[in-house]
Homo-oligomer: A and B are copies of this chain.
């Protein structure tokens, strides 16, 4: 199992529209990725590790796939449609990383 993490930096002045993200973007992503997508989690940053500190990321999204191959096969043909929607809810591009799930 792999996770594709999409991390939106919590930069000063950065805009992130959680309402649009949950109501429009995520449903579109789920639709185009179809059965290759095994699960999706969306988290909203509320704070850092130290009391009163800022969260590093305003939003963290995790997408689960069986394998890197399965992610690439489903994401590749839809990459443009997914990426074209980002400016509709975020003023900054996310950091993306692929991870192998070691414990779940």
Contacts and interface: CB of A to CB of B under 8 A. Distances in A.
A17 B53 CA distance: 28
Consensus secondary structure, chain A interface: strand
Number of identical monomers bound together in the oligomeric complex = 2
Nearest to A21: B102
Given A40-B103, A103-B40, A98 B47 contact: yes
Contacts of A44: 99-100, 102
Contacts of A40: 103
Nearest to A47: B98
A99 B7 contact: no
B100 A57 contact: no
9 contacts: A40-B103, A41-B101, A43-B99, A46-B98, A46-B99, A47-B68, A49-B97, A55-B99, A56-B95
Interface of A: 2-3, 5, 7, 18, 22, 26, 40-49, 55-57, 60, 68, 95-104
